[in-house]
């Protein structure tokens, strides 16, 4: 994590005081631009910066004339970049390989020769923001005219590493506000949020990671209570880790007077799976809803289509987290949960209606069931499917 490095402390110690002292918006904008560029270069290295610069320039230029075909081309280009850097090897080995192993091996070798050692850092976040931008312009919204506005939107340093995924329609007005003047309230609120994020990430999540990594090899021999405690720690860790990042990003932005979208809202307090996804990684969920689920038809074409759309969307959501089957299965697990969540009142007839009434009357039941779905799901998120299965069996058989 870059936010708890000495480099970043040094960066902030120089960046923020100068940002606050500069009173002219133009100068502040230039300073922010320089800071973001320097941060991105340090974070991603030259090899990681170049592809993002290339795809960024293409995105900016293709959207500028507001020609829908060019916007569509921009979307294809961005998605192709993501597929190439992040999913090419997975597609060759794990997808094509299932049908034609020899072809997959040949393709895999060729792809590997073309790919750098690792994909450009945060490429998924860049691509999602670029796709959002192209689609909004495609839908008739005004494109970003000023190149420096676009660059700041693309490489706004607090959200560069792990989001939240921004929307340019919200970001640019907030950016202008921050450039015009930062209030002490913003700085104080931002610093408090940053501190909260650091505590969540460094004190809580990182400690849980140490405990989890130590106990994981002995998971099968843990007593049932400790095994559930382990699963609970795993669930707490991902929330604290990820929401800690988001808090830091939101806090750092706020210290410049710029507001970023919220990303988490007490997700483990959700009383249904649908509720969970309205509280978990909100910027991703809303992105997927707006740019995949609704274009696929959403809930406009009957229950069966709605459920199919949910499965597709969640498989893609899983895949976005990483190029591996366990992520796809994690997405499908949640997709299946949502399908059940939606369909049971109709499928079970009067019993379903009674159950729905019961859940409405006693939200704690829904909360417990939601956790019982979400917690085993994290096993799929973190471990190979076979390992996750063994761990889940142990959890539910109390062996």
Partner 1 sequence: MKPAASRLGSWLLLAGIAAGFLLACGEGHRAAAYSKPRAFTRFHQRISPDASFYPPYAMLEALALARWAPGKTLVIIGGNSILNGVAQPESEVWSLRLQEMLGDRYVVVNLAFRGSMAAQGGALVAESLQRRGYPVIFVANTYPHAGCGRAADGPYGYFYWQALHQGKLSDYPARTADLQRWRTARPEAERIKLAETELGARIEAVTRAQSLWVHVSYRHLFTVWNFILGRDFWRPRVWAPDNEPAAPPVEERFRHEPEAELATVRGFTETLYVPGPSGSPQLDPAWPTRLGDEIEAAFVPALRPRMLMLLSQSAPPYLERLTPAERSRNRAAYAAAARIWRDHGINTIVAGEGFAASDYFDRLHLTGEGGRKVAALVAEQITQMNSD
Q: Which residues of the shown chain bind partner 1 in the complex (CB under 8 A)? A: 5-7, 9-10, 45, 183-185, 187-189, 191-192, 203, 206-207, 210-211, 214
The distance of closest approach from Cβ of residue 161 to partner 1 in the complex, given in angstroms and rounded to an integer, is: 16
Judge contact between 97 and 104, C-beta under 8 A.
yes
CB closer to partner 1 out of 200 and 334: 200
User: Residue 66 corresponds to which tokens in the numbers above?
Assistant: 């507001």
Residue positions counted in the chain: 399
User: Residue 124 corresponds to which tokens in the numbers above?
Assistant: 């998924």
The distance of closest approach from Cβ of residue 160 to partner 1 in the complex, given in angstroms and rounded to an integer, is: 17
CB closer to partner 1 out of 16 and 242: 16
The distance of closest approach from Cβ of residue 192 to partner 1 in the complex, given in angstroms and rounded to an integer, is: 7
Please state, in angstroms and rounded to a whole number, the distance separating the CA atoms of residues 386 and 376. 13
Please state, in angstroms and rounded to a whole number, the distance separating the CA atoms of residues 261 and 259. 7
Judge contact between 60 and 147, C-beta under 8 A.
yes
CB closer to partner 1 out of 45 and 385: 45
CB closer to partner 1 out of 50 and 210: 210
Sequence-distant (≥ 6) Cβ neighbours of residue 200 within 8 angstroms: 240, 241, 243, 244, 247
The distance of closest approach from Cβ of residue 25 to partner 1 in the complex, given in angstroms and rounded to an integer, is: 21
Judge contact between 288 and 312, C-beta under 8 A.
no
The distance of closest approach from Cβ of residue 20 to partner 1 in the complex, given in angstroms and rounded to an integer, is: 11
Sequence-distant (≥ 6) Cβ neighbours of residue 230 within 8 angstroms: 212, 215, 216, 219, 222
CB closer to partner 1 out of 5 and 353: 5
CB closer to partner 1 out of 7 and 398: 7
Q: Phi first, then psi: give them for residue 183, nearest 5 degrees.
A: -90, 155
The distance of closest approach from Cβ of residue 16 to partner 1 in the complex, given in angstroms and rounded to an integer, is: 12
Please state, in angstroms and rounded to a whole number, the distance separating the CA atoms of residues 26 and 293. 40
Q: CA distances (Å), 365 to each of 27, 76, 209, 358, in order?
A: 55, 44, 30, 8
Residue 398: Cβ within 10 Å count:
10
321 catalytic residue (yes or no) = yes
Of 93, 265, 321, 342, which residue is the catalytic one? 321
Q: Please give the positions annotated as active site.
A: 321
């Amino acid at each position: 994590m870059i936010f708890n490095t000495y480099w970043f402390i040094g960066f902030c110690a120089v960046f923020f005081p100068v940002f606050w002292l500069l009173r002219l918006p133009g100068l502040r904008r230039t300073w922010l631009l320089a800071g973001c560029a320097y941060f991105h270069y340090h974070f991603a290295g030259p090899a990681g910066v170049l592809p993002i610069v290339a795809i960024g320039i293409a995105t900016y230029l293709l959207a500028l004339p507001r020609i829908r075909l060019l916007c569509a081309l921009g979307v294809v280009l961005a998605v192709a970049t993501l597929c190439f850097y992040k999913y090419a090897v997975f597609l060759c080995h794990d997808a094509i390989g299932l049908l034609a192993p020899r072809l997959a091996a040949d393709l895999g070798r060729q792809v590997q020769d073309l790919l750098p050692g690792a994909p450009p850092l945060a490429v998924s976040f860049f691509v999602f923001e670029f796709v959002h931008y192209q689609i909004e312009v495609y839908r008739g919204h005004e494109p970003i005219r000023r190149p420096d506005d676009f660059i700041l939107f693309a490489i706004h340093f607090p959200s560069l590493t792990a989001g939240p995924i921004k929307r340019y329609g919200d970001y640019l007005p907030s950016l202008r506000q921050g450039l015009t003047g930062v209030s002490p309230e913003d700085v104080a609120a931002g610093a408090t949020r940053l501190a909260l994020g650091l505590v969540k990430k460094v004190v809580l999540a990182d400690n849980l990671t140490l405990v989890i990594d130590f106990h994981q090899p002995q998971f099968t021999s843990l007593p049932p209570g400790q095994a559930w405690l382990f699963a609970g720690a795993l669930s707490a860790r991902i929330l604290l880790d990820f929401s800690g990042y988001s808090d830091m990003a939101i806090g750092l932005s706020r210290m410049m007077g710029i507001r970023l979208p919220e990303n988490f809202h007490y997700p483990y307090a959700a009383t249904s799976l649908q509720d969970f996804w309205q509280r978990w990684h909100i910027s991703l969920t809303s992105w997927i809803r707006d740019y995949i689920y609704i274009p696929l038809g959403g809930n406009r074409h009957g229950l069966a289509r709605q459920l199919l759309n949910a499965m597709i969307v969640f498989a893609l959501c899983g895949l976005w987290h990483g190029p591996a089957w366990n992520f796809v299965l994690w997405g499908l697990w949640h997709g299946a949960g949502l399908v059940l969540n939606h369909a049971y009142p109709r499928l079970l007839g009067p019993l379903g209606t009674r159950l729905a009434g019961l859940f409405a009357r006693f939200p704690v039941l829904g909360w417990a069931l939601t956790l019982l779905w979400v917690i085993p799901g994290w096993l799929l998120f973190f471990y190979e499917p076979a390992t996750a299965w063994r761990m889940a069996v142990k959890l539910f058989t109390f062996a």
